[in-house]
Every structure is written in C-alpha cells, then in structure tokens.
Amino acid sequence: MLTVECVISPENLDPRGLLLQRSIIIRLLEEFANRKVTKDHGYFLSVTTLEKIGEGKIRPESGDVLFPVRHNCLTFKPFKGEVLKAVVDRIVKHEVFLICGPVGNVFLSVKTMPDYQYVRGENPTFMNNESSKIEKGGVVRFVVLGTKWVETEKEFQVLASLAGDFLGPVS
Amino acid sequence: MSGVEEEENAAELKIGDEFLKAKCLMNCEVALILDRKYEQLQQMSDDPMNQVSQVFEKSLQYVKRFSRYKNPDAVRQVREILSRYQLAEFELCVLGNLCPETVEEAIAMVPSIKSRGRAHDDDAIEKMLSDLSLIKKFE
C-alpha cells in the first residue's frame, strides 16, 4: 500500500466568527473528509500536520473569505506493478472480487489465476492442484495489473493478477 | 500529471514525481498514526465512528490487519534497518509490508531493487531480510 504524506494547498471557505483559526481548521477537516479521493493523489486518509494558513482573500459577491491552507496528509494510491494484499469479498465462476482497504473494487479474473479451478457450492472457492484455496474472507497476495480511475463513481478500479512467483492466498 | 498514467509502473519505480518525492509509510506506521487520530477523536466526542469518513475507517481496518509489527519500537527499528540500504521510499515500504523471507521472494515483490544500476547484491538483500526477521522474533 503506497501511503504517502503529501503537501496540499486547497482553498478553504468562509470561516465567520471570532475564533478564526479554529474555524479554519474545522472547515479544513470537513472539506478533507468530503474530498475522499482524487485521481492524482488517491484516497485521502487523514490530515497529519498543518503547515501554514495564508492570507485571506475576500470574495466580493458573497462576502466569503478564502484562505489557502497548506497541510500534510496521508493518501493511498494503488499503482500498476505493485504487490498488495487484499481480502476476498465475493467469488463467482470467472472472477474473484477483493477489497483492499479503501479500494472496494479489485477484480481478479480466472484468466490471471493460473492453475486455479472454480469449485462450486454454497460457498464457492477457487482451488489449485496443491490444494491452495481462495475463499471468502481469505487473504490473497496479488500484483496490480492495471488501475482505472472512474470519474463518475469517483473511485479507482484495480485489475489484479496471480501470475507471478509468491502470489496467491496467504495466511 | 496526466501523461504519466500510461507509463506508471511500480515494478520499475515509475510512480510519478510527486509520489517519488513524498514520504512513503508502511502499513504499521500508518496504523500507529490513524490509531492515534482515532484516540484523539474518542477523547473529543462520544461517537468517534460518526466523525470519521469511510475511507478512514476502511483504511484503519486494513492497515491494522496487515501490519506485521505492532510495537512502535519495532516499527521504528524496521524503518531504521531498511533505511541503511539504498532503497527508494516506495521499495522500503513494500518490503516492510510484505516481509519476504527469501531473497527470491524479495526480488519478486520489488523487482526494482535489482535494476537501475544499484544492483543490490544477493548478500546485501539476505542480510537485510535476516535483520528484519530478528525484529519479528523479539516483538
């Protein structure tokens, strides 16, 4: 999981009232929680440090004041070629759906699971010749074949693969 | 940053300038940070779960589950050990997260450690892995 601390300078809106710095921080945290995820930086986990609150600029039409706030935060972005661990959420005939932290859409197609066969049943699984089993709730180590940013859903979709050494279900 | 996506490939350390320059954290480090945040929220309100976003919640669950080292001193030591080798931040974190046991596994997880002319030889990688496993034993 590529979790980084990065510095961002968003615009922050309109803190009225006397406790200026406090309202700015509250507004920053609100806005941060709403931002959730962007294409460039990935999923926003948490603000870590406040660097600087810049000079406020008044917006003439509304009377709002805009403050640029420079802060550090934690983000997570999945990358092609990265090896990650995820939890199996659902299994169907040709595909396994995994959840990797904030990334809810990790797709593992049967085509990228060499030697694994679908085993049907009330709780379907995938198994290979060495009785290695992929089942709901289990953990799988995979490599990211590709990622896709879906603007309309505001989320990343990840294509996974087990084609490689040391990949597959782990305890 | 828009042209970068086509070339992105973590296996070759092509992750974009911004991420290459940023500080990268391992799951266990993130777990400590998010845990602390959560505690702070607990002190400030009766219902901390309501205050955090879904992203926070899911991430906290994930990093806690996939942290190999729980003890803050151990976490510090892991970072210290891995920092002795000329690794990019990203490579350091993948190794700290996945804890490969053999040199082969390490190279399979982080192919870039064998490239770019830095050519960490197998002995160096072996030493690094055995130092890491010592911490696990004494955690």
Q: What is the dihedral of CA B16, B67, B79, B95, to 10 degrees?
A: -60
The ipTM assigned to this model is 0.84
CA B48 to mean position of chain CA atoms: 27
What does the pLDDT read at residue A14? 54
Sites in chain A below the pLDDT cut of 50: 1-2, 4-8, 17-18
User: Is B63 within 8 Å of chain A by CB?
Assistant: yes
Q: What are the chain A neighbours of B56 within 8 Å (beta carbons)?
A: 33, 45-46
**Confidence at B47, pLDDT banded by 50, 70, 90:** low
| B98 φ, ψ (degrees, to nearest 5) | -90, -15
Q: What is the dihedral of CA B90, B12, A100, A111, to 10 degrees?
A: -160
Number of CB pairs, chain A paired with chain B, less than 8 A apart: 112
Q: What are the chain A neighbours of B33 within 8 Å (beta carbons)?
A: 46, 48, 74
Residue A90, min C-alpha distance to chain B (Å): 17
Verify whether the Cβ–Cβ distance B22 to A76 is below 8 Å: no
Higher pLDDT, A23 or B122: B122
What does the pLDDT read at residue B23? 85
What does the pLDDT read at residue A67? 77
Verify whether the Cβ–Cβ distance B53 to A4 is below 8 Å: no
Of A3, A6, A76, the CB nearest to B18: A6
Angle, in degrees to the nearest 10, between helices B72-83 and B122-138: 170
Q: pLDDT (tens digit, 9 = 90+) per residue, B62-113?
A: 999 999 888 999 999 999 999 988 888 889 999 999 999 898 999 899 888 8
Which among B20, B55, B95, B114 is the top mutation candidate for probing chain A, defined by the most A β-carbons within 10 Å of its own β-carbon? Answer: B55
Verify whether the Cβ–Cβ distance B55 to A100 is below 8 Å: no
What does the pLDDT read at residue B6? 53
Q: How far apart are CA B135 and CA B125, in angstroms?
A: 16
Q: pLDDT (tens digit, 9 = 90+) per residue, B14-30?
A: 887 778 778 889 999 99
What does the pLDDT read at residue A171? 73
Verify whether the Cβ–Cβ distance B55 to A45 is below 8 Å: yes
What does the pLDDT read at residue B3? 38
**A44 → chain B, closest CA residue:** B55
Structural tokens at position A103: 């990334």
Residue B135, min C-alpha distance to chain A (Å): 20
Q: What are the chain B neighbours of A36 within 8 Å (beta carbons)?
A: 53-55
Q: pLDDT (tens digit, 9 = 90+) per residue, A152-165?
A: 988 999 999 999 88
Verify whether the Cβ–Cβ distance A33 to B90 is below 8 Å: no
Say yes or no to pLDDT of B52 above 80: no
**Residues A166, A120: contact at Cβ < 8 Å?**
no
